[in-house]
Structure 1
Amino acid sequence: MRMHNADAACGIAQAAVIMGDWWNVLVLREIARGHVRFDALAAELGLSRKVLTERLGRLVAGGVLHRSLYQRRPVRYEYLLTEAGVGLLPLLVAMQEWGDRWVLGDGSVTAAEDGAEHARMHSLTGTRLPADLELPGSDGIPRDVVAPDAAATVLFTYPATGIQWEEPLPGAAGCTLENRLFRDSWPAFRDAGAAVHGVSTQLPHEQAAFARAESVPYPLLSDTHLRLAAALRLPTFHGAGQLRLKRSVLVLDRQRTVRHVLFPVGDIPHAVQEARRLARTLAGHVRP
């Protein structure tokens, strides 16, 4: 890529050099989703081996990917995000949010029943979360997004709660109600062998303060760096100067596979009740 001399001091221009073209962006998108091996990337993207090899080489040289040997005969590598690569996830999620709203949508932050976000979320059924996907809990310690000892994990995402906003935060109304309803239903989830995890882009200490104030018994996980949002391409919106997760409920099995999706979530009490029913069904307590 030819650059003007003034571009040497421009962060946007330098980032554009690394991203290169749209194939580089899509390669990073798929790696964030957990497709880290060459054949899986080629299958997801429909790229020739020559072109994919070239793009992976550029991203490794740019310092956003590194190769990790997983097989010696024949030699095969996984392509994993470096720290610099993880730093690009907010950019990818912001691009998705912009495309959802201004290209695929009508400019509104509200999720439409027949919109692109709805279709993408419900296509998650059957998707398996990456095995190494951990998020910090309210204690700051990384925790698996899927509870390893539970027959089912209910993962609900919400914009934010527990903060006095200086400006209206679209989609955030009801977050406290949602947490309280999951809190009150938590014994039923526990007795069914199901775990409950709440996820937002708030910082761990913000979630910890809310958990203490509301006696929340289940983990609240922080997706501040948007690892989960990028892995599942979750719908987001901008609020109070930060990307926020739209409200959704996912029910996953022991194998980390998404079995049920509730999105959009408008009727919060119904969504919590339905999540409880689906979790009990998945855990084998009632017949499907």
Structure 2
Amino acid sequence: MRMHNADETCGIARAAVVLGDWWNVLILREIARGHVRFDALAAEIGLSRNVLTERLGRLVAQGVLRRSLYQRRPVRYEYVLTDAGLALLPLLVAMQNWGDRWVLGDGSLTATADADSAEHARMHALAGTRVPEELRLPATRVPEDLELPGAQGADLPVVSPDAAATVLFTYPGTGVDWDEEIPGTPGCTLENRLFRDAWSDFRRAGVDIRGMSTQLPYEQAEFARAEEIPYPLLSDARHQLGAALRLPTFRGAGRLRHKRLILIVDAERTVRHTLFPVDDIPHAVGQSLRLAEECARAV
């Protein structure tokens, strides 16, 4: 790409060189979703093998991807995001948020969604999608007497490795003075309290719970201590899960935030049910318990 001299010190222009065109953006989108092998990328994007090879080579040369050998005969590689590549995920999520609101939507700022929206269709199409196996996020501490392996403030897998099913619910954020003009924002504390109060019922069914927002770990930890939350709260501040599942977001109180959503995920990390939008929080919590129990019994 030819650059004008004035662009040599412009971060936007230099980033545009790396992203190149929409094929590069789609390649990064699919790798974030866990499609890290060549054939999977070719199938998902519909790009010719020659062009895909050339684009992957560029992204590796630019330090956004690295190749990881997974087979020697014949030689096969996986393409993994580097630190520089991971730092692009908030940009991809911001692009998705802009597209959902201004291209696919009517420009309204909302933390919920209509039944005929692109976000609604995308979330309900998640059934059958597998959550990337290697994805781990910073988690809050939980009471030690719960004996949850590894749940003591370290990074945790998004899907519990020891449960027959996992309920993963996303929420905009707790302790925020929400603008009442943004529909769908109130109720984050209520939702956590309802899941907390039903925690024993979920555990008896062999089901684990993960709450998730884009708040920072210390913000979540303060809330978890104050409310005695027994399950981990995961921080997606770097938008890793948001990019992996193309989760719906909105911009509120100074950052991109997840819209309220509940996913029922089985022991193989496959999404079985999606509750979105979540307008009636008490009903959705009860429904998630019923669906998770069914999912756990099917194991």
Q: CA deviation at 1:85?
A: 0.1
Q: Does 1:24 align with 2:37?
A: no
Q: Does 1:244 align with 2:257?
A: yes
8 A Cα contact 1:162 1:207, kept in partner: no
CA distance in 2, matches of 1:198, 1:60: 34
Letter in 2 for 1:16: A
The residue matched to 2:198 in structure 1 has which SS?
A: helix
Q: CA deviation at 1:164?
A: 4.8
Q: CA deviation at 1:169?
A: 8.1
Q: Does 1:59 align with 2:62?
A: no
Equivalent residue for 2:286, pick from 273, 277, 281? 273
Partner of 2:171: 158
Q: CA deviation at 1:60?
A: 0.5
8 A Cα contact 2:176 2:253, kept in partner: no
CA distance in 2, matches of 1:138, 1:218: 9
Letter in 2 for 1:135: L
Q: CA deviation at 1:112?
A: 1.0
The residue matched to 2:8 in structure 1 has which SS?
A: helix
Partner of 1:188: 201
CA distance in 1, matches of 2:211, 2:294: 20
Q: How many residues in Structure 1 have an aligned counterpart in Structure 2?
A: 285
Q: Does 1:228 align with 2:230?
A: no
The residue matched to 1:74 in structure 2 has which SS?
A: coil
Partner of 1:81: 81
CA distance in 2, matches of 1:83, 1:168: 37
The residue matched to 1:9 in structure 2 has which SS?
A: coil
Partner of 1:129: 131
CA distance in 1, matches of 2:18, 2:209: 39
CA distance in 2, matches of 1:32, 1:251: 21
Return the TM-score normalized by structure 2: 0.93
Letter in 2 for 1:121: M
Letter in 2 for 1:238: R
1:220-239 deviations in Å (ceiling 9; x for gaps): 00000000000000000001
CA distance in 2, matches of 1:242, 1:60: 30
1:59-118 deviations in Å (ceiling 9; x for gaps): 001110000000010000000000000000000000000000000011122411111000
Q: CA deviation at 1:168?
A: 5.7
1:161-186 deviations in Å (ceiling 9; x for gaps): 02456x66833310000000000111
The residue matched to 1:107 in structure 2 has which SS?
A: coil
Q: Does 1:94 align with 2:94?
A: yes
The residue matched to 2:115 in structure 1 has which SS?
A: coil
Q: Does 1:205 align with 2:218?
A: yes
Partner of 2:47: 47
Which ranges of structure 1 fall in alignment gaps of 5 or more residues?
Answer: none
8 A Cα contact 2:191 2:282, kept in partner: yes
134-143 or 115-124, larger mean C-alpha shift: 134-143
Label 1:15 to 1:168 Cα distance change in 2 as closer, same or farther (>3 A): farther
Letter in 1 for 2:3: M
Q: Does 1:259 align with 2:272?
A: yes
CA distance in 1, matches of 2:48, 2:119: 29
CA distance in 1, matches of 2:35, 2:275: 25
8 A Cα contact 1:134 1:144, kept in partner: yes
Q: Does 1:107 align with 2:107?
A: yes
Q: CA deviation at 1:5?
A: 0.7
8 A Cα contact 1:31 1:80, kept in partner: yes
CA distance in 1, matches of 2:49, 2:249: 33
Q: How large is the Cα RMSD of the aligned pairs?
A: 1.4
8 A Cα contact 1:135 1:222, kept in partner: yes
8 A Cα contact 1:63 1:85, kept in partner: yes
CA distance in 1, matches of 2:254, 2:177: 14
Identity, % of aligned pairs?
A: 72
Letter in 2 for 1:122: H
Which ranges of structure 2 fall in alignment gaps of 5 or more residues?
Answer: 142-152
